[in-house]
Amino acid sequence: MEIKEGVFVTLKKQIVGSSVSRAIVYTIGHIIIAMSCNMVITGALPELAIVDAIVEPLINGVWYYMLDKYWTSQMKK
C-alpha cells in the first residue's frame, strides 16, 4: 500500500506542480477569455466565438515557431 500511495503522491506533485499543467490551465483560460470577448465585442454566436478562440492561438503558435526559427538563424550569422 505504501508503494502505491507513494507513486500517486509523486505523480501528483510532478503533474500538478509542473509548468505543463500551468500552461494547460493558462490555455483553457485564454480560450474562455477570447471567446467571451469575441461574443461581447462583436456579438458573434458562441459557436463562432469558440472556433475563433481556438484557431487564433494555433495560428499564433505557428507564427511564433516560424519567427523563432528565423530569429535564431539570423543570430548565428
Alpha-carbon distance of 53 to 33, in angstroms, equals 8
What pTM was computed for the model?
Answer: 0.62
Amino acid, single-letter form, for residue 47: E
CA–centroid distance for 60 within its chain:
11
Among 30, 74, 72, 76, smallest CA distance to 53 is for 30
pLDDT one-digit tens code per residue, 7-64: 667 667 766 667 778 888 888 899 999 999 999 999 999 999 999 999 998 899 899 9
Give the amino acid at 57.
Answer: P
Helix, strand, coil percent values for the chain (each to nearest 5): 90, 0, 10
